[in-house]
Amino acid sequence: MALWRKTYFILCMLLLTAAGTAFAQEQKQQPTTRILFLLDASGSMYGKWEDSDRMTVAKRLLAGLVDSLARYENVEVALRVYGHQFGRERNDCKDTKLEVPFAKKNAEPVKKKLEQIIPRGNTPITYSLQQAAGDFPEVVRSRNVIILITDGLESCGGDPCATSLALQKKRIFLRPFVIGIGIEQEQEKQLNCIGQYFNAADIRTFQNVLTQIVSQTLSKTTVTVELKDEQGKSVPGNVNLTFLNALTGDPEYNFVHYMDSKGKSDVLEIDALLPYDLVVNTVPPVVERKLDIKPGRNNVIPVVAPQGELYLRQSGPSPYGQLSVIVREQDKDRTLNVQRFGSRHNYLAGKYDLELLTLPRIYMKGVEVKQGETNTITFPPPGQLSIPSDVQGYGSIYTLEEDGTQRWVYNLPEQSSKTVLALQPGKYRLVYRMKSAQASKFTDVQEFTIRSGATTTVKIFNR
């Protein structure tokens, strides 16, 4: 009995410490944590376990755990049992029942019900999980947890792994815990996909597992995201850190990274029951998959995210108006950002392709952004094309490339050819047919040159 008392004393101290820490945390109102014990009461639970049997040990440890949890104001427990209503000869695959629903201070009803349970039937885990979905009250701000204790595998042909995953994605409950009693190693993979699996090979391990699960469920867990440069030195990011639910892809937390004057990143509190991917919202973002979060402690997450600056310098007013640049990662088609001239923007260190929305467009390949440096981008001042002719017709402007090819740049308005247009320096060709012309042979073709800061006048002739 000394061993049992010592175990529960340690467990109680752990719970009280966690409660005090939670209260001290800016005295925020904590969400209710609802823990549903899903207990296997199939016939095999009568199997011998050390100097007792599996069911007797499970009942005794659960009763002590429920007593300890009763000390929490914001924790509720419930008990669902399967395989206990009918014998194996009936092969009832719906043999599951919520014996004690969630309520405040219901430790005594749970303990009394545990005393009455007799192992009898088979193991309908999938159906029990499906029914457990309705055991939790429909409350938005709550943490729903399932602790499944079993000594066997699904015996009714269901798929408990797919069922558990679907319910987690719907946020019916958070990460389930599965405690396997006397499970063969080759069979563990059929249980560890349901949730976080623990192999209780002996009674002492079973005790430790229960304590560990309580700690993971109720203890304060924090993370520190350390942004690193290419040399591994911590750098301020001032970027949004998004913690995504790794199952659903939904954002669970958003924080803007902060580093103090001593080079230390701050500590952020998160719920350890959820699986996370971390997105560091640099441009482009850095993603860390399947974070290894240890509950009840501060987890340091280093992320290599060196940044540099792209400065689009514009000297004086632009004849283009507010000129912008399309920024893409090198050799990729997807638009990463649209940045305006006159602005500065941070990018992840690397190479980028730029498309300046001038006429004609200017393409810059492999523009490098280096860690901690500013790359300044300019472009040649444009000249102007002036067409004073006010006629109706169909015309286009093309650039003349060095290899003799022509590339379309601009279509003149059909209703009036009269225009003043800003163009980059270079050689061009105007192709135009008046609307009144009765044949293609009356097309007017002229070549002209645009120089920076100068105006070139082109007249359209009636041919």
Taking only the tens place, the pLDDT of each residue in 89-129 is 898 999 999 999 999 989 999 999 999 999 999 999 999 99
Is pLDDT at 282 greater than 90 in this prediction?
Answer: yes
Answer yes or no: CATH 2.60.40.1120 is held by domain 221-305: yes
CA distance 425 to 379: 10
Burial class (CB in 10 A: 0-12, 13-18, 19+), 322: exposed
pLDDT bin (cut points 50, 70, 90) of residue 420 is very high
Q: Give the pLDDT band of residue 23 (cuts 50, 70, 90).
A: very low
Q: How far is CA 177 from its chain centroid?
A: 22
8 has a pLDDT exceeding 70 = no
Do the domains at 2-218 and 221-305 have one common CATH topology? no
Q: Among 37, 45, 110, 53, which residue's Cα sits nearest to residue 84?
A: 45
How far apart, in Å, do the first and last CA atoms of the chain sit?
112
Using the predicted structure, report yes or no on whether residue 13 has a pLDDT greater than 60.
no
Going from N- to C-terminal start, the domains of the chain cover: 2-218, 221-305, 308-377, 383-457
CATH number for 308-377 (one of 2.120.10, 2.40.10, 2.60.40, 3.30.70): it is 2.60.40
Q: What percent of the chain has pLDDT over 70?
A: 93
The CATH superfamily holding the domain 2-218 is von Willebrand factor, type A domain (3.40.50.410)
Nearest to 127 by CA among 86, 160, 172, 170: 160
Handedness of CA 293, 298, 304, 307 (dihedral sign): positive
**Residue in 7, 206, 32, 41 with CA at minimum distance from that of residue 113:** 41
Q: What is the pLDDT of residue 186?
A: 84
Q: Are strands 142-150 and 177-181 parallel, antiparallel or unpaired?
A: parallel
pLDDT tens-place string over residues 387-418: 999 999 999 999 999 998 999 999 999 999 99
Mean pLDDT calculated for residue range 159-188: 92
Cis ω before 360 (30° cut-off from 0): yes
Q: Render pLDDT for 130-143 as a digit per residue (tens, 0 to 9).
A: 999 999 998 877 89
| pLDDT at position 463 | 60
Question: What does the mean pLDDT of the chain come to?
Answer: 90
Phi, psi of 244 (to 5 degrees): -95, 145
pLDDT digits (tens, 9 = 90+) for 75-88: 999 999 999 999 98
The average pLDDT across 411-426 equals 95
25, pLDDT greater than 70? no
Q: Rounded distance, CA 292 to CA 134, Å?
A: 31
pLDDT score at 316: 67
Q: Which CATH class is domain 383-457?
A: mainly beta
Spatial separation of the C-alpha atoms in residues 39 and 55, rounded to whole Å: 9
At position 51, the amino acid (one-letter code) is D
**Mean pLDDT computed over 363-379:** 96
Q: Is residue 21 scored above 50 in pLDDT?
A: no
Per-residue pLDDT at 141: 78
Task: Give the mean model confidence (pLDDT) for residues 133-158.
Answer: 92
Higher pLDDT, 69 or 18: 69
Digit-coded pLDDT (tens) for 317-336: 777 778 999 999 999 999 99
